[in-house]
Structure 1
């Protein structure tokens, strides 16, 4: 095997890592909003990702059945629908369950874990236990070969572009919108935020729903690189929490850096090791760094 072959394989593995990075980042961003900004441990976060994935599958099935001429255009609309369905589900979850459990982290963890199992059973009952995949439009298929021997999947580039769009939009909303100002004020000092007229209860609900909506977008992105089953979201929940904790619980930029590092380490090491050993190696590196820097890569600045 020549040096160019090794270089091309490494680059392709690195790009595969970017696809994993995109899904982990979208999952991590939703968790960073919910866990980092609100302190809520949402063990059902993976199921909101699955809601987004099943929404794309439903959109694909309905379009293929009733409007096959629109198959090339349904996917962007399905992504928007995935966000909306997950957003509505998150809004209802916060109203019905989470708002009663603030400042009770153990109860929140157990309640959302139970919710996760219940949603998985709903998926099995109404969708089926088998994994499904949507029919992707033709423009998402194939690959781009900038040089001979280096093939970059088009669906991976699309997922990366979608991730950049969502990340930029969330950062803009967090630091340049009235909602972001209210979230940051509530996180800094809830009592003072209430005193200045901010409806912190509504801010909490909106924040939780937006975090779940971003998980729905992660599910839509996931359909381009894998099939979806009732437990697909739960397979990513540990990695997503790892991304948020490693990056710094209250830092969106830390979430980006953490997702990139974890995804690239895991993807490139999978070429040289088995999948299980690659995960072990990644976890060992993360744990070692957290032992040295327990506050994460980007610690939040706290006034004392």
Structure 2
């Protein structure tokens, strides 16, 4: 029973990590139909922002305030990554809407530039980030120990999810974003500034990528290619959940996370990854639109 509970917790934990990574992609790819291959590098930006703030606190702050570095890193990573995303949208992406292959190649090139910039500044070897003291250890549940870091990532992903939901469905600005995504011409006729909406939406998606990078520092060392190892899984989550469906990303993330953990437990890590790809391919053959299909009214 303990093994079953631990396997389920590991699956939920992996799903929360995938959800946190895929939330930004669900906005840029799912809602804006922009294939942003630099999403992984925006995750890297958030991770290195955390490392820089940790170094500043380590060198200049009193030891008793060291743990505050991680709390400060989350909003700073969001703002910096959002700023880079906004600059990317204004200078490049705005010219490539409705040109998916061009946007794929262009953002892939931007990703390589960001990787090389990180190597030039921080070096090629991975660097470590020390977890704050309140996230070390774990919660004892019977004979099981659930790591605080994993529980924190699960809570952070839930907070980010509800923040996005509140913005898109409970604010005037979010309703304008959804209006533009559903019917751009009609939104323009009603006076919505679609250029501002595009820029703001891409910045929001990029900002949440930075938050994901900050959270990933709790799991191990970081390097210039940290985002590359997660970008394929993030696209899988968005496609399986349903392009344009926010809560489809939730279903896809936790479904993939739990199945992947079960397959790895029954077989091994390599074969488990192969099996999850086979299941996803078979699922998309049966349901190409994903778990949740977005619906909109249109005039034919």
TM range (shorter): over 0.9
Match of 2:173 in 1: 179
Tell me, yes or no, if structure 1 residue 201 matches structure 2 residue 227.
no
Report the Cα distance in structure 2 between the residues aligned to 1:179 and 1:131, rounded to whole angstroms. Answer: 40
Over residues 20-69 of structure 1, what are the superposed CA-to-partner deviations in whole Å (9 max), with x where a residue is unaligned?
22221122111111111111000000000111111111111111111133
Match of 2:122 in 1: 127
Which segments of structure 1 move beyond 3 Å, counting only runs of 4 or more? Answer: none
Match of 2:211 in 1: 217
Is the CA contact 2:138–2:147 (under 8 Å) kept in the aligned structure 1? yes
Report the Cα distance in structure 1 between the residues aligned to 2:210 and 2:279, rounded to whole angstroms. Answer: 29
Partner of 2:174, secondary structure, is helix
Name whichever of 59-68 and 162-171 sits farther off: 59-68
Tell me, yes or no, if structure 1 residue 76 matches structure 2 residue 76.
no
Match of 1:289 in 2: 283
User: Could you tell me how far 1:229 is from its partner in structure 2?
Assistant: 0.8
Partner of 1:33, secondary structure, is helix
Is the CA contact 2:129–2:220 (under 8 Å) kept in the aligned structure 1? no
Equivalent position to 1:25, from 19, 33, 47: 19
Match of 2:261 in 1: 267
Equivalent position to 1:147, from 142, 147, 150: 142
Is the CA contact 1:53–1:220 (under 8 Å) kept in the aligned structure 2? yes
1:229-244 paired onto structure 2 within 5 Å: 229-244=223-238
Match of 1:189 in 2: 183
Tell me, yes or no, if structure 1 residue 94 matches structure 2 residue 93.
no
Match of 1:3 in 2: none
Match of 2:108 in 1: 113
- Structure 2, unmatched stretches of 5+, are none
Tell me, yes or no, if structure 1 residue 40 matches structure 2 residue 45.
no
- Structure 1, unmatched stretches of 5+, are 1-6
- The alignment's TM-score, normalised by the length of structure 2, stands at 0.96
Over residues 71-124 of structure 1, what are the superposed CA-to-partner deviations in whole Å (9 max), with x where a residue is unaligned?
122211111111111011101110111011111111100000111111111111
Partner of 2:141, secondary structure, is strand
Equivalent position to 2:151, from 157, 164, 176: 157
Match of 2:296 in 1: 302
Aligned length in residues: 297
Report the Cα distance in structure 2 between the residues aligned to 1:21 and 1:131, rounded to whole angstroms. Answer: 25
Q: Let me know the Cα RMSD of the aligned residues.
A: 1.1
Partner of 1:152, secondary structure, is strand
Report the Cα distance in structure 2 between the residues aligned to 1:151 and 1:71, rounded to whole angstroms. Answer: 25
